[in-house]
Amino acid sequence: MSLPPPLANQAFCDVSALESGILDVPEDMFITNAVPGKVLIAPSLSFLLQHSGTKKKFLFDLGIRKDYHNLPTVVADLLKSRNFIKVEQDVLESLEKGGLQPADIDYVCLSHCHWDHTGDTHVFKQSQFIVGAGCRSLFEDSWPSNPQSSFAADLLPEGRTEYLDPSDWKPIGPFPRAFDFFGDGSLYIIDAPGHLPGHANVLARTSSDGGWIYLAGDSAHHRKLITLEADIAVGHPAWNCAHVDKEAAHDHIVRINKLLGLPRVQVLLAHDEPWYSTHKGGSSFWPGKIESL
């Protein structure tokens, strides 16, 4: 198993991490062999990908919004009642540190529609939004008409949202369904089933000569899952399981694990505590970039 070799004059993406909030969450919510009482100080990372040729700017996830009281009522009430999030710098402020405004962003791709990944979509008034087609089901009975829904009816801008259907996508590496977004092999959107309907990951080249990065979203919430040192936790009182389909999520994690054995491939999770603790405040964050392997 391998990833496609680079072509002559291969296009790639410069990838920068963006601060967009922190969550304090018990480790035993995510893995079976958690340390008793351990709390993860987990980032909710977003990423800026810039195409090497066209300079098109592609955001992957938007993190947590500062004004979380404007989220659907059930989410806002949860966040008010429990002190487990902190947003010292949201995705907008992170972009501004490198001189970018929302109008500069060509594409916003949401890995999925959970509140800690969607930020405030309304400020991106010109961007094209990209989501997995499976997420449509989340908005069939959404907030505010359904006060118990966690998903706001106006989250995705009408007329500027592309719902990608992975049914006819082609395989790449260990993944059966991938979409060559720019058509030049620089950035692939990967169907990532299990976590939530429409969940997607990104696989991008980070150099013209064979470097790659895999942005795994919420495919796994702990690095021990992708190394296969732990299993997905089930039965936690907060939510039972992090994924709507545990078996599909496990199968996808096994596919991600296969990337770890490939040369020059980095794998990052949206809530990647070890990576964040090592790189926080460093050159991997915009206006810097994550160095290619």
What is the pLDDT confidence band of residue 288, given thresholds at 50, 70 and 90?
Answer: very high
Report the CATH fold assignment for 13-279. Metallo-beta-lactamase; Chain A (3.60.15)
pLDDT in tens, 202-256: 999 999 999 999 999 999 999 999 999 999 999 988 789 999 999 999 999 999 9
**Contact present, 290 and 16 (Cβ < 8 Å):** yes
Amino acid 284 reads: S
Q: Do you find a cis peptide bond into 197, omega within 30 degrees of 0?
A: no
**Any idea where the domains of the chain sit in the sequence?**
13-279
pLDDT in tens, 187-201: 999 999 999 999 999
Measure the CA–CA gap between 61 and 207, rounded to whole angstroms.
22
